Amino acid sequence: MRQFLAVIAFMLVTIGFFSAYSNFGIPQIIPAPPPVEEEIDLTSMDMDQFTALGDKIFNGKGTCTLCHNELGRAPMLDQVGVNAQARLDDARYDGEASDIEGYLRESLVAPSAYVVEGFGKAGTNDTESPMPSTEGGSIALSEPELAAVLAYLQDIGGLEVTVEIPTDMAPQEGEPEEMADPGEPRPAFTNFQDLSDEFACEACHTIGEEAGDLGPNLSTIGGTRDRDYIRRALLDPNRDIAKGYEADMMPDDLGEQLYATELEIMVDFLSQLK
């Protein structure tokens, strides 16, 4: 019996020692906090947060900076506030807006209502805009996202922000909020259409139905270009410039953004378009 108690006592001391050691002796590894979920709760958002959301959409999901950048594919928008009234008063203005917020909204959902001089589709004498509507197609912003971008444009344009924060924020049916978590690697896309939507290829290219025309029509590219050419066109777009088009238009960071599997999906798809 005494021996049994001695064994128990020994065990308790040993366990006590190890648990004390593991509590105090081993440096604790604090697990990284779980990634913060992107929360768009507009009910508690103030205007600064709302314009910041617009900034994020402008530079991300909206793909606006594909064209609105210092390369001159599209007008810079920091002067948009100064210019908007003059656009409305211009005889070439063909829209229905009556104030600056209205003009900006129309610029996004019906870009051809006013085409900034020199930026129209080739051959249309500045009557048709090459900018895709933000309502559907390759950009597809929801109404609250659109409002946030408008607030952002008013803000950077030095205007008074007149856009109101929408109060009804129930996510629209069939349209899950797709705000990616910046900490996590994004899941890989597995088909060309999803890739094209994500990287806005059709904002600039015609591929089948959707018509962009800042870049060459790709509907039959596989008939004239081989896989190596297409792969190079994606990874190093300024190496060969398609005839009749300018350099520095096609995004040059696809190589950093695409997974290898995705690059091959694109090359496969494009090379069989004949």
Site residues for ligand HEC per CB under 6 A: 58, 62-64, 66-68, 73-75, 77, 80, 83, 87, 104, 107-108, 111, 114-116, 119, 129-132, 134, 139, 149, 153, 196, 199-201, 203-205, 214-216, 218, 221, 225, 230, 233-234, 237, 240-242, 245, 247, 249-251, 254, 266, 270
Name the minimum Å distance from CB 80 to ligand HEC.
Answer: 5
Cβ neighbours of 53 (radius 10 Å): 23
The smaller minimum CB distance to ligand HEC, of residues 9 and 76, is found at: 76
Name the minimum Å distance from CB 21 to ligand HEC.
Answer: 56
Tokens of 27: 């440096």
Name the minimum Å distance from CB 221 to ligand HEC.
Answer: 6
Name the minimum Å distance from CB 224 to ligand HEC.
Answer: 7
Name the minimum Å distance from CB 38 to ligand HEC.
Answer: 18
Name the minimum Å distance from CB 48 to ligand HEC.
Answer: 19
Classify burial at 119, counting beta carbons within 10 Å of its beta carbon; exposed 0-12, middle 13-18, buried 19 or more.
Answer: middle
Q: Taking the C-alpha atoms of 47, 138, 240 and 237 in order, what is their torsion angle to the nearest 10 degrees?
A: 40
Mind spelling out the 3-state secondary structure of the chain? CHHHHHHHHHHHHHHHHHHHHHHHHCCCCCCCCCCCCCCCCHHHCCHHHHHHHHHHHHHCCCCHHHCCCCCCCCCCCCCHHHHHHHHHHCCCCCCCCCCHHHHHHHHHHCHHHCCCCCCCCCCCCCCCCCCCCCCCCCCCCCHHHHHHHHHHHHHHCCCCCCCCCCCCCCCCCCCCCCCCCCCCCCCCCCCHHHHHHHHCHHHHCCECCECCCCCCCCCCHHHHCCHHHHHHHHHCCCCCCCCCCCCCCCCCCHHHHCCHHHHHHHHHHHHCCC
The smaller minimum CB distance to ligand HEC, of residues 165 and 233, is found at: 233
Name the minimum Å distance from CB 134 to ligand HEC.
Answer: 5
The smaller minimum CB distance to ligand HEC, of residues 10 and 245, is found at: 245
Name the minimum Å distance from CB 72 to ligand HEC.
Answer: 10
Q: Are 214 and 130 within 8 A, CB to CB?
A: yes
The smaller minimum CB distance to ligand HEC, of residues 153 and 163, is found at: 153
